């Protein structure tokens, strides 16, 4: 197995996590039990997870010139993520407010901020030629498509995680270029790759099911499924990103991917993410190994 070089592209946020005694109903109120601030954004979360698992990883997205932007860059640098492709624009860094109930379930509020203030042309020509794999998360679909086209032209493989807005934004042209696509169980039924069709999609389809684990379907009709890892969960924010990092760390650089092992490692990474507050977690390889081996 070779160690791949991965470029993650998409949202880079500053997250404010509010831990509540319950998620409020409409016209309801909840009490804040705790709060914290840290870096977030799906692309940045996956990049951090991969870097801490020992995968050489860079990040392409946009942050602002404000203090939050500086804090985001510092945290990514500390985690070992290459931020050279990261674009800085004259705007406020995107802030997301994560409302977390005592059962770990999450609601998200956000503003647009500096996110998606970049174009595919902002990525230097030589970056993708030095990249083995491009991981795309939620972003402008036209930008995602162009990045995927450039990656394919450069000989890199592509994975896509459309995220919460999978049913709102049309990623169909990008999915047609993908090797791997990630959904969670809520996103999958409304995803853009599910129009009526007789032929299966031409990519590996990974669906995460939270505490119930995850499954993989391949274009040849093969199916793998693994149960989740039983841990005391306090916050499910970013668990899917941690899963994607773990899954990719196993399958990239291999000619014959071990999907059963990739699901086991991905589930372990996702479980570790739920044991901490906030969306971004450093995935300690020893802790991942212990959970994976115990599964």
294 located within any domain: no
Catalytic: which of 77, 212, 241, 260?
241
121 located within any domain: no
Q: What is the CATH number of the domain that holds 16?
A: 3.40.1190.20
Would you write out the chain's pLDDT as a tens digit for each of its 295 residues?
456 799 999 999 998 988 899 888 888 899 999 888 888 899 999 999 999 999 999 999 999 999 999 999 999 999 999 999 999 999 999 998 988 888 777 888 888 899 999 999 999 988 999 999 999 999 999 999 999 999 999 999 999 998 876 667 888 899 999 999 998 877 666 564 444 344 456 889 999 988 888 999 998 889 999 888 777 766 666 788 999 999 999 999 887 889 999 999 999 998 888 777 655 677 888 888 887 876 6
Residues in the chain: 295
Q: Which residues contact 202 (CB under 8 A, 6 or more apart)?
A: 176, 219
Q: Are 224 and 259 in contact (CB under 8 A)?
A: yes
Structure confidence at residue 278 (pLDDT): 58
Q: Provide the domain count of the chain.
A: 1
What is the H or E stretch that residue 290 is in?
helix 285-294
Structure confidence at residue 189 (pLDDT): 61
171 located within any domain: yes
Annotated catalytic residue 256 = no
71 located within any domain: yes
115 located within any domain: no
38 located within any domain: yes
Q: If you write DSSP's letter for every residue of 120-168 in order, what string do you get?
A: GGGS-HHHHHT-SEEEEESS-HHHHHHHHHHHHHTT-EEEEE-GGGTTT
Q: If you write DSSP's letter for every residue of 12-69 in order, what string do you get?
A: -EEEEEEEESSPPPTT----EEEEEEEEE-HHHHHHHHHHHTT-EEEEE-EEESSHHH
Residue 70 sits in which domain range? 5-23+31-110+131-289
Structure confidence at residue 88 (pLDDT): 96
- What is the spatial distance between Cα 260 and Cα 266, in angstroms, rounded to a whole number? 10
89 located within any domain: yes
Structure confidence at residue 199 (pLDDT): 47
Structure confidence at residue 81 (pLDDT): 95
126 burial (CB, 10 Å; 0-12 / 13-18 / 19+) is exposed
243 located within any domain: yes
């Amino acid at each position: 197995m070779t160690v791949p070089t991965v470029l993650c592209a998409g949202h880079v946020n500053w997250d404010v996590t509010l831990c509540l005694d319950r998620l409020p109903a409409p016209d309801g109120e909840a009490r804040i039990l705790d709060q914290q601030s840290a870096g977030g954004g799906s692309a940045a979360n996956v990049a951090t997870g991969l870097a801490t698992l020992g995968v050489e990883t860079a990040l392409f997205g946009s942050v602002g010139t404000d203090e939050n932007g500086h804090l985001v860059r510092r945290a990514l640098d500390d985690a070992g993520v290459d931020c050279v492709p990261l674009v800085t624009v004259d705007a406020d860094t995107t802030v997301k407010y994560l409302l977390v109930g005592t059962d770990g379930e999450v609601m998200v509020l956000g503003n647009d901020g500096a996110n998606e203030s970049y174009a595919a042309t902002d990525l230097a020509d030589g970056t993708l030629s030095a990249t083995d794999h491009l991981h795309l998360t939620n972003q402008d679909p036209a930008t995602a498509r162009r990045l995927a086209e450039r990656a394919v032209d450069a000989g890199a493989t592509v994975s896509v995680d459309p995220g919460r807005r999978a049913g709102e934004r049309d990623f169909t042209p990008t999915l047609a270029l993908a090797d791997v696509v990630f959904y969670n169980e809520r996103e999958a039924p409304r995803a853009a790759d599910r129009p009526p069709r007789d032929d299966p999609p031409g990519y590996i389809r990974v669906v995460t099911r939270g505490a119930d684990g995850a499954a993989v379907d391949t274009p040849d009709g093969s199916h793998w499924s693994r149960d989740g890892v039983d841990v005391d969960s306090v916050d499910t924010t970013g668990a899917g990103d941690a899963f994607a990092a773990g899954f990719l760390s196993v399958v990239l650089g291999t000619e014959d991917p071990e999907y059963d092992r990739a699901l086991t490692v991905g589930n372990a990474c996702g479980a570790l993410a739920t044991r901490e507050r906030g969306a971004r977690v450093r995935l300690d390889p020893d802790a991942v190994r212990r959970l994976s081996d115990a599964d």
